[in-house]
């Protein structure tokens, strides 16, 4: 059996030359997301979100990107969860899109804001009914005595909402991470990777630079 700790892949099919990167990092991100999807990357919209708790300690977890536009990167969650409480107290956020199979990653840093309630309502309404009920049943990130208790809550809620639409829970909704930094990383041979970083200047313009690998 191969040792997973000593595997060593030499990346490098694709260069990321200066002319390969669009001037608008959001357009560049969309392009890479489409490439990841075309290359059958599993859940290409999965991103690792890092937050900072009130005591200054970081935590990370995966969430799914649900929209991307000039404002930023949008995802949905429970506002009372560990990440929700952290972001409401301290909006600093970092994202990693880990597209290992195509030797790419995108790193985003920025500030997360709750989205308008109407937008969360709109998205919640598109979710499968089971997920809507689960959003009511789960006090995300809180301890629970057993799985059975959670499933019992789901059964009770199915009866409660029988025959009517499931409303969005008050503490469930979206955040948008408004980026100030976006880095495109392309794995290259002999660890001489390409890194192109965009930083938003005070004027709002994006400035780009190449970073050493």
Ligand X SMILES: Cc1cc2nc3c(=O)[nH]c(=O)nc-3n(C[C@H](O)[C@H](O)[C@H](O)COP(=O)(O)O)c2cc1C
Chain residues that interact with ligand X, rule: CB under 6 A: 43, 46, 59, 61-64, 75-78, 81-83, 140-141
Q: Tell me the β-bridge partners of 93.
A: 51, 110
Which C-beta is closer to ligand X: that of 42 or that of 203? 42
29 is an annotated ligand-binding site residue? no
Can you say whether the dihedral through the CA atoms of 115, 38, 20, 102 is positive or negative?
positive
C-alpha pair distances (Å), 195 with each of 21, 80, 165, 201: 11, 36, 47, 19
Does the annotation mark 30 as catalytic? no
Least distance (Å) from ligand X to the CB of residue 48? Answer: 9
Which C-beta is closer to ligand X: that of 29 or that of 75? 75
Q: Tell me the β-bridge partners of 186.
A: 104, 194
76 is an annotated ligand-binding site residue? yes
Which C-beta is closer to ligand X: that of 61 or that of 197? 61
Burial bucket for residue 143 (CB in 10 Å: 0-12, 13-18, 19+): exposed
107 is an annotated ligand-binding site residue? no
197 is an annotated ligand-binding site residue? no
d(CA 192, CA 12): 9
- Options 191, 197, 208, 210, the catalytic residue: 191
Phi and psi of 91, rounded to 5°? -70, 0
Least distance (Å) from ligand X to the CB of residue 51? Answer: 8
| Residues classed as catalytic | 191
Can you say which residues are annotated as belonging to the binding site for substrate?
Answer: 66, 123, 127, 131, 191-193
């Amino acid at each position: 059996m191969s040792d997973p700790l000593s595997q060593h892949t030499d990346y490098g099919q694709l260069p990321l030359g200066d002319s390969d990167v669009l001037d608008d990092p959001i357009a560049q991100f969309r392009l890479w997301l489409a490439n990841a999807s075309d290359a059958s990357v599993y859940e290409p919209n999965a991103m690792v979100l890092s937050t900072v708790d009130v005591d200054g300690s970081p935590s990370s977890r995966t969430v799914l990107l649900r929209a991307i536009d000039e404002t930023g990167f949008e995802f949905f969650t429970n506002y009372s969860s560990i990440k929700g409480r952290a972001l409401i107290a301290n909006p600093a956020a970092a994202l990693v899109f880990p597209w290992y199979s195509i030797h790419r990653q995108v790193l985003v840093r920025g500030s997360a804001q709750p989205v308008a309630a109407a937008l969360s309502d709109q998205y919640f309404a598109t979710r499968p009914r089971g997920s809507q009920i689960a959003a009511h049943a789960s006090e995300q990130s809180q301890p629970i005595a057993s799985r059975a208790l959670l499933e019992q809550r789901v059964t009770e809620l199915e009866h409660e909402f029988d025959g009517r639409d499931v409303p969005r829970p008050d503490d469930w909704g979206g955040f948008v991470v408004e980026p100030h930094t976006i880095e495109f990383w392309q794995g290259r041979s002999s660890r001489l990777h390409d890194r192109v970083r965009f930083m938003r200047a005070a004027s709002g313009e994006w400035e780009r630079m190449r970073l050493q690998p």
